[in-house]
Structure 1
């Protein structure tokens, strides 16, 4: 009586193919399937890519009108009308147009482009600062210079104003000039007053009067001392 064949203990996957004739004893043996064989015809599913809802582009400003701007985008054949975001000052966008700077534009499907920022792409030819209050503070020293003109403020309270040709301080009613030859000019529409605690020199334009007030007044001349007037009064 012949023994019954043993029952299979697991799943066997045979791969029909050429055998290696060079390897003895392996000619009739079948090679098991590999993982690559199992998945070769069934690629792994890929998750669909979500469409991009928001895009950013740079553009050049052609004109600004209110809270709208006309832009030139790189891939657009014609100028594009865009809104200016509420957080962006239209004056800043207009300055970008004057200086040739680019702006950052937000593009959303089905919506108008929106200018959301201004990009500085080159050194400005001019800087204009406009605000309700401008506060500049330096711990040690603050200096402003342009060519041969110079203004310096130091921590200890020293303020220096220098100019190669002339230093002028002007108001609507008068001017103080210090020229390079040492001449000092005080020009006032009404009155010039030099005053210390107990002395004063006053020049009034209204009645053409000069008043010199002091506890002691000295006038010294190494040469000719001349006093000219229609009436001289010594009291």
Structure 2
């Protein structure tokens, strides 16, 4: 139930879906394949609200990139675990705001990296990076080959942290990544909560397909992602309430979104 697969165990055979394929299906994309479509349908039947969660997350990505590149003036954006491309990929949103903006797509899934490499073509501005966020140190070293980590960065972790292990591990991942960024950097997160029984059933259905485990989080753990950061108004809220710019699915009970600035 997240944007991109982040485990390094390549079990993505033709009959085993990746989270990127399932997420693409829920977001209305076309790059999910039969395995992703079947797993997505199982998840949707167990948790009808999951499509609203996925599409609300996509809308939040658009608004958060507009904030990072436009209002905050950040010209380096890292989309970690971006999932398979859908409409309005991160680099296109950023480019519409600033011709100086650069986006790095960071993923351990070779299918995801290949699709973004094809999408970007030969242009040199953006980058596709092979790194596993579950190892923050190596991820930061890999990112530093293409981006200047001595300047502010917008770090996006959208629906991907369920792959980062238990609560202790996910906090180590988030704080490890943020700790390697310069002052003035931002963290943007979309997360699915564990407070709804239907969401838990959907996660179990997803795991039953043989796909990598995806863990839901408590509101308290999600809030702890932003420890030491200054939350951008309106704070940690349901995604459709974060600076809305039009009608979108209301996934109020299932997810939370926020952007925080590193002092």
TM-score range, shorter chain: under 0.3
Q: What is the TM-score when the length of structure 2 is the normalising length?
A: 0.15
Specify which structure has the higher proportion of strand. Answer: 1
Name the larger-Rg structure. 1
Higher relative contact order (CA 8 A, sep 6+): 2
